[in-house]
Amino acid sequence: KNEVEQSPQNLTAQEGEFITINCSYSVGISALHWLQQHPGGGIVSLFMLSSGKKKHGRLIATINIQEKHSSLHITASHPRDSAVYICAVAGGSEKLVFGKGTKLTVNP
Amino acid sequence: DTGVSQNPRHKITKRGQNVTFRCDPISEHNRLYWYRQTLGQGPEFLTYFQNEAQLEKSRLLSDRFSAERPKGSFSTLEIQRTEQGDSAMYLCASSRDRATDTQYFGPGTRLTVL
């Protein structure tokens, strides 16, 4: 079982819909990262969380340390949000362990 | 552009050849990470440096793989005697210090081994 599980694997939405992507992990962590990867490979860091909630524009990330769970929400989704969203955790060592990613497609 | 550059962006090689990739991190970043990503999967950790010291290597990094960061600035990843299973995207990232710091990723080097 992967240490980091994301759901769903694929998500198709209509423009304007509210999107939720979930991430569960099985190890103790010092931080959780949400990353965005566009076709062609470039990865951009969206959030780094160790507790609570963060918001940036239409993106909101939350984490529940006790439940070992994090969610990434996108409000008023737009076709330009189409990408792969990856959850990664920093555990006991200094390396990141990544989920497989959630492929989001937002149709106009 | 995150400020992290990687060269080359694409590399096609024949099985058995050696290849070397370069990563130039953001200049004030002490940490440099190498990851490998295959199609449909998330990145997998390969190794990381704190300045010039290589502090951790994944079991994925067989003895055909070697990485250096000689002056604590740019890094190179060399794969010797390439195999078809080495075909992947090789990603480099840098951060200020710890894994809890934001990592800035380069565009990656896509390796195809024929």
Pick from B100, B101, B102 the residue to mutate for testing the A interface (most A CBs within 10 Å). B100
| Rounded Cα–Cα distance for residues B41 and B83 (Å) | 19
Assess contact for A87 and A23: CB atoms under 8 A. yes
B-chain CB neighbours of A44 within 8 Å are: 2, 105
- Nearest partner of B25 among B100, B103, B101, judged by Cα: B103
* CB nearest B98 (choices: A41, A86, A94): A94
Please, which residues have CB within 8 angstroms of residue A84's CB and are 6 or more apart in sequence? Answer: A36, A37, A38, A101, A102, A103, A104
Question: Looking at chain B, which runs of residues are DSSP E strands?
Answer: 5-7, 10-13, 19-24, 31-37, 44-50, 53-57, 65-68, 75-79, 88-95, 104-105, 109-113
* Residue range A23-51: mean pLDDT, rounded: 90
- Residue A2: pLDDT band (50, 70, 90) is low
B-chain CB neighbours of A4 within 8 Å are: 42
pLDDT in tens, B53-105: 999 898 878 899 999 999 889 999 999 999 999 999 999 999 998 767 889 99
Q: How far is C-alpha A82 from the chain's CA centre?
A: 13
pLDDT in tens, A67-79: 999 999 999 999 9
